[in-house]
Structure 1
Amino acid sequence: MSNETNRPKVKIIAEYFIKPEYEAKQPNHPHYLSAHDLLHLSTPYMHRGLLYAKPPSLSSINSLVDNLKESMSMALIDFYPLAGRLSTIKYEDDHASWVHVDPDVGPGARLVHASAVSKEYRVTMSDIVTPYESISRFIWSFFDMGDPKVVNHDGHVEPLLSVQVTDLVDGVFIGFTMNHCLGDGTSLWHFIKALSDIFMGRGNDFVKPILKAVFADGYGPILKLPYLDSSEFINRSDVDSRLSLRVFHFSVESVGRLKTQAKENNNNNAISSFQALAAFTWLSVARARNLPGESDMNCWLSADARPKHDPPLPNTHFGNFVHLIMVTSKMDDLMKNGLCWAAMLIHKGVMGFDEKLVMADLKARSGKPDVAPMNRILDSFGNNPPLIFAGSNRFDAYGPEFGLGKAVTTRAGYNTWKNGRIVVNPGCEGDGSVDLQVCLLSETMTALESDNEFMSYIS
């Protein structure tokens, strides 16, 4: 499996469509989408997966799949929009359209049973947890709708949620695919944890989602996009074969060392562990790119805006509430001033992310809804796109067990295959350890792995 032409094949054994076990009281028919939800119509689905070792108690993959069918049917009672499809109403006189979720359309969410074990290929856990590059694009086949050409607008005909169970020689990979128009990473992990709780017989323990789109005062619930046809805004990107993927693990000790160093020359003791880690990674990738001194080096951090709303929203509020905190520096300044200075830049950016900014952005986007041309935006940066930190080391990624025990690791799918994209996850051992799934141009990745300072912090 050392090259893309010799990738193992994942065989689909069966697929099932799952509807809610019974129809709950659904306050919104249809399920409305906010301005921040609609931004994602032209971007890929979200893909997050968990790798488990096969426990001796697992009688067969079939029994796992059967239990998941029942659990999904129960979970979808509370997460009912995920069982529907996108729907569009067109307004020809206005050259506009309204996209929403119809919970009653389509056969339901999808559950896929697959196998990566055959006469030709026998995929093991070590193929996934050892150098990620060796199976790079093969990981996409562990996620339903992992095709690079699939975008969220395809939720008109494709499921809004799909769960794929892939049998390995010594493990099980459960891949979760969710339409990004329905929610962000917080929402996806909320569903995964709820599904696991139901599977484990703890269905009364999880906090139910709040399924209500948020609009600025005076706007919504119908937000018209300034397009009559989807061809006006959909941008399907090709696979960039120049990229490499790695997962770098930072132990709690390494993160602590970075935090201490980032605060050495700063009077502000509020710099967090993650801000120090992000600054160190930003600085290291800038060094690996080795661009001219006057070049801009951009660092964008995903931030959950729920606590910044007025009034604040709980984490269980389903939908898209992620904003990008954008920090920039000239290469010369970043190289000259080092970690403490970079960490302070990021800290100032985080401190400027406040209620006033969030509510102003909500009003602006609700008043002029649109679809984010993210591919075109990132392409405009050429080979020096911003580092984008997505995900969070605070997600409960190792809480969901599905009767298999604690997961060995977590992985992401195609939607993270972009130059400069960094997916943040907690480390398996917890206690503040962090995994960074990093995607860079191959030559940049080689330079990063040859950087003794960067690698000295990697476990």
Structure 2
Amino acid sequence: MSVFIDCNNEGVEFVHAEAKSISVGDVLAASSDVPDFIKSFFQLDGASNYDGHSFPLLAVQLTVLADGIFLAYSFNHAASDGTSFWHFMNTWAEISRTKTTVPSRPPVHDRYFMDGVKPPLKLPFSHESEFLDRHSPPPLREKMFHFSSEAIAKLKAKANQESGTNNISSYQSISALIWRCISRARGLPEDKLTTCRVSIQNRAKLQPSLSPNYFGNSINTLCMTATAGELLRNGIGWAAWRIHEAVVAHRDDAIRGTVRNWMEAPVFYKLSLVDESTVAISSSPRFDMYGCEFGWGKAVALRSGSANKVDGKVMHYPGWEGGGSVDLEVCLLPKFMTALESDPEFKEVVSPAVPLQVHLP
């Protein structure tokens, strides 16, 4: 098998739908779980990257609600990572909003090949069953949690103080907190090995670095492990420092080594590998999500569909009010979500969802 993209100019699938019985307030569902009906706003539900052989690589659905609209994008992750996706969406919004014919950040389509690797990449498989995993998780609870800029600053200061450093970032502090609190909510035995998986982009880490406007997929996943006992006996600074060390070690040589190893023995990430001892963290509050403005005004909220939802999946979003605030989308089995909601360490940092009247005029 080999994989490549053959551009055929067929364009993007665009669907116009109506759900006049649903309001913006129903979608936001302040202080409660993310409503299940949101999944129906997204095209290609249940599709995998492999299905890009026959499905569009990007599908858009605009759903008209009783008092607003919901704009949903479904894209093939093999073609683009989060950095490129939000670059594309903001460019589309800029063209729509300003009627420009020359976007302010043209995408860089030049391909970057490591160590002589050239397409098409040949894979040691003869049938999709050898690598494709159509995972169907049990019923999950999905909920949005808000972190104010003030709460994050205190959390970051605590993590750095405990570690005797000033180098731990806000992202690393929040990731350490959610790793600890979810592991505690799961009631794992002290000797149970836990894993924290954090997505990280490679653009600035490579030498020479890739352009921030590079359109493609240039990410890796960092894996930090610790027993539940180690993770919970030590403070948040200990967990945050583990993540920080992994981020610092993710340099050009490490990235190239990962590529070489993968070329020698290709493996594919499967959602079924995320079990009750894993916390999988992705997306970034640095993505300019609320800047994606088509001329209709600033979006009132961010929500996602069903893709990649498993027990222990966590996604970072920027907070609506800006200023360094963050929203976390957390997916857990119901019993674990209930325990997380009452976790003292977690409750000390999170705050209620921003009231509806703050969002709407």
Report TM bin, short chain.
over 0.9
Q: Secondary structure at the match of 2:69?
A: strand
Letter matched to residue 247 of structure 1: M
Separation in structure 2 between the aligned mates of residue 265 and residue 177 of structure 1, nearest angstrom? 41
Decide which of 108, 117, 124 is 2:11's aligned counterpart. 108
What residue is the counterpart of 2:288 in the other structure?
Answer: 396
- Cα deviation, residue 439, structure 1: 0.5
Deviation string 1:359-383 (CA, Å, 9 cap, x unpaired) is 2222333x337351413422xx4x3
Asked if the contact 2:199/2:282 (under 8 Å) is kept, the reply is: yes
- Cα deviation, residue 258, structure 1: 0.2
Decide which of 220, 234, 240 is 1:343's aligned counterpart. 240
Question: Structure 1 residues 131 and 124 mapped into 2: Cα distance closer, same or farther (>3 Å)?
Answer: same
What residue is the counterpart of 2:328 in the other structure?
Answer: 436
Q: Secondary structure at the match of 1:436?
A: strand
**Are 1:225 and 2:131 matched, yes or no?**
no
Separation in structure 2 between the aligned mates of residue 369 and residue 210 of structure 1, nearest angstrom? 29
- Cα deviation, residue 260, structure 1: 1.1
**Are 1:165 and 2:62 matched, yes or no?**
yes
Letter matched to residue 143 of structure 1: F
Separation in structure 2 between the aligned mates of residue 212 and residue 404 of structure 1, nearest angstrom? 33
Q: For the pair shown, which has the larger CA radius of gyration, 1 or 2? A: 1
What residue is the counterpart of 1:374 in the other structure?
Answer: 270
**Are 1:359 and 2:256 matched, yes or no?**
yes
**Are 1:212 and 2:110 matched, yes or no?**
yes
Separation in structure 2 between the aligned mates of residue 361 and residue 286 of structure 1, nearest angstrom? 28
Separation in structure 2 between the aligned mates of residue 203 and residue 424 of structure 1, nearest angstrom? 32
Question: Structure 1 residues 444 and 193 mapped into 2: Cα distance closer, same or farther (>3 Å)?
Answer: same
**Are 1:327 and 2:231 matched, yes or no?**
no
Unaligned 5+ runs, structure 1: 1-96
TM-score, length-normalised on structure 2?
A: 0.92
- Cα deviation, residue 134, structure 1: 4.7
Q: Aligned ranges for residues 250-289 of structure 1 at < 5 Å? A: 250-289=147-186
What residue is the counterpart of 1:123 in the other structure?
Answer: 22
What residue is the counterpart of 1:234 in the other structure?
Answer: 132
Question: Structure 1 residues 369 and 100 mapped into 2: Cα distance closer, same or farther (>3 Å)?
Answer: farther
Letter matched to residue 246 of structure 1: K
Deviation string 1:74-121 (CA, Å, 9 cap, x unpaired) is xxxxxxxxxxxxxxxxxxxxxxx212111127x32111101111xxxx
Letter matched to residue 144 of structure 2: V
Asked if the contact 1:283/1:338 (under 8 Å) is kept, the reply is: no
Question: Structure 1 residues 294 and 369 mapped into 2: Cα distance closer, same or farther (>3 Å)?
Answer: closer
Asked if the contact 1:224/1:369 (under 8 Å) is kept, the reply is: no
Letter matched to residue 273 of structure 2: I
What residue is the counterpart of 1:187 in the other structure?
Answer: 84
Q: Aligned ranges for residues 141-152 of structure 1 at < 5 Å? A: 141-146=40-45, 148=46, 150-152=47-49
Give the number of aligned pairs: 350
What residue is the counterpart of 2:356 in the other structure?
Answer: none
Separation in structure 1 between the aligned mates of residue 156 and residue 305 of structure 2, nearest angstrom? 30
What residue is the counterpart of 2:38 in the other structure?
Answer: 139
- Cα deviation, residue 447, structure 1: 0.3
Q: Secondary structure at the match of 1:246?
A: strand
Separation in structure 2 between the aligned mates of residue 171 and residue 286 of structure 1, nearest angstrom? 38
**Are 1:98 and 2:2 matched, yes or no?**
yes
Deviation string 1:144-191 (CA, Å, 9 cap, x unpaired) is 112x2x111111111111111011111111111111111111111011
Decide which of 327, 340, 345 is 1:448's aligned counterpart. 340
Identity %: 37
RMSD: 1.7
Q: Secondary structure at the match of 2:176?
A: helix
Question: Structure 1 residues 357 and 409 mapped into 2: Cα distance closer, same or farther (>3 Å)?
Answer: same
Separation in structure 1 between the aligned mates of residue 30 and residue 65 of structure 2, nearest angstrom? 18
Separation in structure 2 between the aligned mates of residue 376 and residue 278 of structure 1, nearest angstrom? 22
Separation in structure 2 between the aligned mates of residue 135 and residue 279 of structure 1, nearest angstrom? 24
**Are 1:420 and 2:318 matched, yes or no?**
no
- Cα deviation, residue 133, structure 1: 5.8
Runs of 4+, deviation exceeding 2 Å: 131-137, 202-206, 212-215, 228-233, 362-365, 367-371, 375-378
TM-score, length-normalised on structure 1?
A: 0.73
